Structure 1
Amino acid sequence: MIIELSHRIVDGMITYPGIPAPALGVHLTREDSRKVYAPGTEFHIGTITLAANTGTYLDTPHHRYADGPDLSQVPLSKMADLPGLVVRAHNGERTAHAGQGPDARAVHVGQGLDVRGRAVLIHTGFDRHFGTDAYFHDHPYLAPESAAWLAEQGAALVGIDSLNIDDTPPHGERPAHSILLRAGIPLVEHMTGLAALPDEGFRFHAAPPMVAGMGTFPVRAYAIVP
């Protein structure tokens, strides 16, 4: 079984405040193509202008660090056919829990999990707000100490179904990005569909195109469940 884990990209959608929406257009219409090809043969060639951080996307180390590997340099082995592990942060069960008081939105991961070489996908349930104004406020995020633990334990990739893997205060600190990307661990943000996955026993895929000099790009993230 294949489970979809990405949001659809549509014209005009807003993924993150301040990042321009994608604009879909047409390079060659079907009508115009009939003048080029044989009778009965027609094609459509579309165009799209979008920021790299649109929809469900993958961050490479180059997104945060100028000397880090970019989309064309991160090997497929770090983004595709990875053994997956889901941590359920939205209800405090099993493998993660939310903080208390002012830290209530922080997700803490650990408790002896075996994360080495795995794609660790954090299920907060916040994807239910995607496409609404509520998605941009008070979102769950990964606690910095948990990001450090995941890096130390050798996680292969970390994903989350929230606005950002970090808290997004005005001063702009991004500790989870800094820790995980410095360790060479790709990130996938704005995921969806994690509720449909088992806790483990699946393979995860989220490979972007090989664009040199760019640090992020949308992906068609999905999981294969036996």
Structure 2
Amino acid sequence: MIVELSHRIVDGMVTYPGIPAPTLGVHLSREDSRGVYAPGTEFHIGMITLAANTGTYLDTPHHRYADGPDLSQVPLTKLADLPGLVVRAQGPREVVLDQTLDVRGKAVLIHTGWDRHFGTDAYFHGHPYLAPESAKWLADQGAALVGIDSLNIDDTPPHGERPAHTILLQAGIPLVEHLTGLAELPGEGFRFHAAPPMIAGMGTFPVRAYAIVP
């Protein structure tokens, strides 16, 4: 079974306050293509303008560190066919992980249920986030990737620090934010995939995140 874990990208959607919404357009319409190709043959070529942090997206170390690996430099072994582990967060906004979990080499996906607010103003306020000490523990334990179904893996006060980003990306651990559908996954026993295009010089980009459950 394949489980979809990404939000759809649509014209005008707002993923994060202050980041411009994507604009979808047309480079070549089907009507105009009829003058380019043989009779009966037509194509549509679209265009999109979007900020890299749109929808469900991947953060590479280059997002936080100028000398960190970018989208074209992070190997697929850190992004695709990873053994997955879902952590069900409960209680307060700050998510503290159980340190008896086996996270080494795994995509650790934090299920908060906050994705139920995606597309509404409520999504932007009071969101769950990962405790800094848990980010450090994940880095120390060698997690392969960390994801969350919330606005941000960090708390987001204006002009604030971003300790989880700082710790995990410095350790070379990619992040996936704005996941959805984690409720449909078992706790473990699945494979996680979230590979972006190989774009040089960029640190973030939308992904089609999904899981394969036997």
Q: TM tier, shorter chain?
A: over 0.9
Aligned to 2:2: 2
Matched, 1:29 2:29: yes
Counterpart residue number, 2:121: 133
Q: 2:174 aligns with which of 168, 186, 192?
A: 186
Corresponding residue of 1:217: 205
State the Cα deviation string for residues 97-132 of structure 1 (Å, max 9, x = none).
Answer: x4xxxxx31000133100000000000000000000
Q: CA deviation at 1:171?
A: 2.9
Any unmatched runs of 5+ in structure 2?
none
Contact 1:162–1:189 under 8 Å retained in 2: yes
1:73-222 equivalences under 5 Å are 73-89=73-89, 91=90, 98=91, 104-222=92-210
Corresponding pairs, count:
214
- CA shift at 1:177, angstroms? 0.1
TM-score by length of 2: 0.99
Match in the other structure for 2:39: 39
What RMSD, in angstroms, separates the aligned Cα atoms of the two structures? Answer: 0.6
Amino acid at match of 1:223: A
SS class of match (2:168): helix
The one-letter amino acid of 1:211's match is I
2:70 equivalent to 1:70: yes
Deviation, structure 1 residue 172: 1.9
Query: Residues of 1 paired with 2:104 and 2:23: CA distance?
Result: 39
Alignment check: 8 A CA contact 1:148 1:179 kept:
yes
Q: Report the Cα distance in structure 1 between the residues aligned to 2:119 and 2:18, rounded to whole angstroms.
A: 14
Structure 1: gaps spanning 5 or more residues: 92-97, 99-103
Classify the secondary structure of the residue corresponding to 2:13: coil
Distance 1:127 1:195 in 2: 10
> 2: distance between equivalents of 1:210 and 1:84?
23
Partner-residue secondary structure (3-state), 1:152: helix
TM-score by length of 1: 0.94
Kindly state the Cα deviation for residue 170 of structure 1 after the two structures are TM-superposed.
Answer: 1.5
Paired with 2:98 and 2:114, the residues of 1 have a C-alpha distance of 21
Moved segments of 4+, more than 2 Å:
none
Query: Match for residue 50 of structure 1?
Result: 50
CA distance in 2, matches of 1:128, 1:12: 19
